[in-house]
């Protein structure tokens, strides 16, 4: 494989919202994006989702983890088998636990096993090297966000926001050529996003999500609870910073006394307030906020977000990108950066003290 050649990669992502696996093709040399290709989605079944949910917060060797890994591997191999033309696969795995303060992170799934099953090189375990270096291990998509802004021809600082299970945001200045250069990117997790909303819906209604924000729109936000939540020290802490999906579980316990609609509305308001609080850490106000991830389909969340910030907020489709597949595409892009020895994270993204090219390469033989 020629170093620096533009080739097709298949990126795969299974997020903390536990809805399913996204997969998308991207052609890149690890620096510039040349073309986006086909994309597909494989939802987890209710039984698979329950098994994954039961393994959340657990580490390698604990009960239920091996079974969760088998679910993740099987779903990814099944979905990847629908694609052709990729020369490498970027496999994120399923985050079950993330504790960078104690130097550990756990994404279930074995990329070496997948490489043998799919007969292609698989880049995986993207976060461990960064955490071992002293970084947060997240977010990993900022350099890809920078490439996307340049691909779209943007010429002013902007924010790219992903509303998955946890929210993460990247300040991007596309006028800077190199994403590793000072001032090009600043990224961190904003706070809880879809995960607590999904958890409430699953526990109270037996549903995977608040589709379109319909239940939140029927509820009343408990503003004192939102204010109490936002007093948490995480929001004032300077970046770099990252979260596990369960880091705020104790705080969300306060919502248990609320009726269903009010609980979901309040969790949704917390997600929006978290994003608004993140803007205080930017070097300058962004020109706009472009939103990717499942949260952009939530009308209640998008409305609350627009009310909480004094900046134009748009779905990322307004610049021609696929907001459902952006993170899958990102891990295809990052796989190429690992193959070519380029940094995948650094001081302004995860707080690692040096630039890291993080990821193992599983080979088909």
Residues 223-267 have pLDDT tens digits of 999 999 999 999 999 998 988 888 888 889 999 999 999 999 999
What is the pairing mode between strands 88-99 and 33-43?
A: unpaired
Separation in Å, CA 127 to CA 16, 30, 108: 15, 18, 12
Domains 7-137+325-362 and 153-319 share a fold: yes
Strand partners, 290: 160, 314
**Lowest-confidence region among 99-103, 128-132, 171-175, 224-228:** 99-103
What is the Cα Rg of the chain in Å? 19
Looking at domain 153-319, which of 3.30.420.40, 3.30.70.270, 3.40.50.620, 3.30.365.10 is its CATH number? Answer: 3.30.420.40
How far is the C-alpha of 49 from the C-alpha of 165, rounded, in Å? 14
**Measured CA angle at 95 (ends 92, 99), to 5 deg:** 120
Q: Give the end-to-end CA distance of the chain in Å, rounded to a whole number.
A: 16
What pLDDT score was predicted for residue 272?
98
pLDDT at position 157 over 90: yes
**How many residues can be counted in the chain?**
365
- Counting residues of the chain whose pLDDT is more than 70, the rounded percentage is 99
- pLDDT band at residue 37 under the 50/70/90 scheme: very high
Domain ranges of the chain: 7-137+325-362, 153-319
What pLDDT score was predicted for residue 2?
52
pLDDT at position 335 over 70: yes
pLDDT at position 347 over 80: yes
Q: Give Cα 4 distance to the centre of its chain.
A: 26
Give the predicted TM-score (pTM) of the model. 0.94
What pLDDT score was predicted for residue 3?
56
Grouping H, G, I as helix, E, B as strand and the rest as coil, residue 262 is helix
Taking residues 296-303, report their average pLDDT: 98
pLDDT at position 145 over 90: yes
How far is the C-alpha of 57 from the C-alpha of 95, rounded, in Å? 9
188-214 residue pLDDT tens: 999 999 999 999 999 999 999 999 999
pLDDT at position 71 over 60: yes
What pLDDT score was predicted for residue 249?
85
pLDDT at position 1 over 80: no
How far is the C-alpha of 11 from the C-alpha of 23, rounded, in Å? 6
**7-137+325-362, what's its fold?**
Nucleotidyltransferase; domain 5 (3.30.420)
Taking residues 15-39, report their average pLDDT: 95
What mean pLDDT, rounded, does the chain reach? 95
């Amino acid at each position: 494989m020629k170093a620096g050649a533009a080739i097709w990669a298949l990126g795969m992502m299974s997020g903390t919202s536990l809805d399913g696996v996204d997969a998308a093709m991207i052609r890149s040399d690890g620096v510039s994006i040349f073309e986006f290709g086909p994309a597909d989605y494989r939802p987890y079944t209710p039984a698979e989702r329950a098994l994954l949910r039961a393994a959340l917060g657990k580490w390698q060797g604990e009960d239920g983890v091996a079974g969760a890994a088998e679910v993740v591997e099987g779903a990814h191999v099944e979905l990847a088998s629908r694609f052709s033309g990729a020369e490498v696969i970027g496999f994120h795995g399923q985050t079950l636990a993330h504790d960078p303060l104690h130097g550990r992170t756990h994404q279930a799934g074995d990329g070496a096993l997948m490489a043998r099953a799919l007969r292609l090189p698989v880049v995986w375990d993207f976060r461990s090297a960064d955490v071992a270096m002293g970084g947060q291990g997240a977010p990993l998509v900022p350099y890809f966000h920078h490439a996307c802004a340049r691909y779209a021809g943007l010429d002013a600082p902007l924010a790219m926001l992903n509303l998955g299970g946890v929210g993460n945001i990247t300040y991007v200045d596309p006028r800077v050529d190199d994403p590793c250069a000072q001032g090009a990117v600043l990224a961190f997790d904003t706070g809880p996003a879809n995960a607590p909303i999904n958890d409430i819906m699953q526990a109270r209604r037996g549903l995977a999500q608040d589709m379109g924000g319909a239940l939140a729109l029927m509820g009343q936000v408990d503003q004192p609870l939102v204010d109490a939540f936002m007093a948490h020290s995480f929001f004032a802490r300077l970046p770099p910073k990252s979260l596990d999906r369960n880091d705020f579980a104790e705080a969300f316990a306060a919502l248990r006394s609320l009726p269903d609609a009010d609980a979901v509305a309040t969790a949704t308001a917390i997600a929006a307030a978290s994003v608004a609080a993140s803007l205080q850490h930017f070097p300058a106000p962004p020109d706009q906020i472009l939103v990717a991830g499942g949260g952009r389909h939530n009308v209640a969340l998008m409305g609350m977000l627009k009310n909480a910030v004094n900046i134009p907020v748009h779905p990322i489709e307004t610049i021609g990108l696929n907001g459902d597949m952006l993170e899958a595409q990102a891990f295809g892009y990052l796989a190429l950066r690992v193959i070519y020895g380029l940094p995948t994270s650094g001081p302004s993204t995860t707080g690692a003290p040096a630039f890291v090219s993080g990821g193992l390469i599983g080979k088909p033989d």
